[in-house]
Amino acid sequence: MDCLWHYDSPLGPMTLAGDGTSLTGLWFDDQKYFGSTLSRERKEAFLPVFRETVRWLDLYFEGHDPGFLPPVRISTTPFRQSVLEAMSRIPYGMTATYGQVAAAVAKEHGRKSMSAQAVGQAVGRNPICLIIPCHRVIAADGSLTGYAGGLCRKRSLLLLEGVSVPDR
């Protein structure tokens, strides 16, 4: 059973999901693929991991690198797990291209290359936005593309982190 809690962020309402010990989901309520990893059985409950997550979110939306991560657990395919891990290594205030993430995943799997499009699909289905920073993945030309929470939010998140972003 998933436990859920709601957070009012400056960029819109968000839903947190947890299994009792770990954060298993974090979405903007209107984003694409919202709740894609949730079980059918759910209840509202404020878990200890949500206290840590809310503290992380509060610091983040104040414009700070929180400096810690709440415990996270994701059940997904090995490929998507590799993509999520590669994204997790993109530091606060920095970006990486889909091609760079693909190269990191390819290297981890002992391959010469990996499809940036396949990586893009995995990035788009990230079940824990912000904490696993899919908003930091950009196109090779530096443009903002492919954010399930909307490009306006992606832009706002990057600006919050001090990243220079191209004009719309």
Q: Is 137 exposed, middle or buried (0-12, 13-18, 19+ CB in 10 A)?
A: buried
Q: Which residues are catalytic?
A: 134
Burial class (CB in 10 A: 0-12, 13-18, 19+), 91: exposed
d(CA 117, CA 119): 5
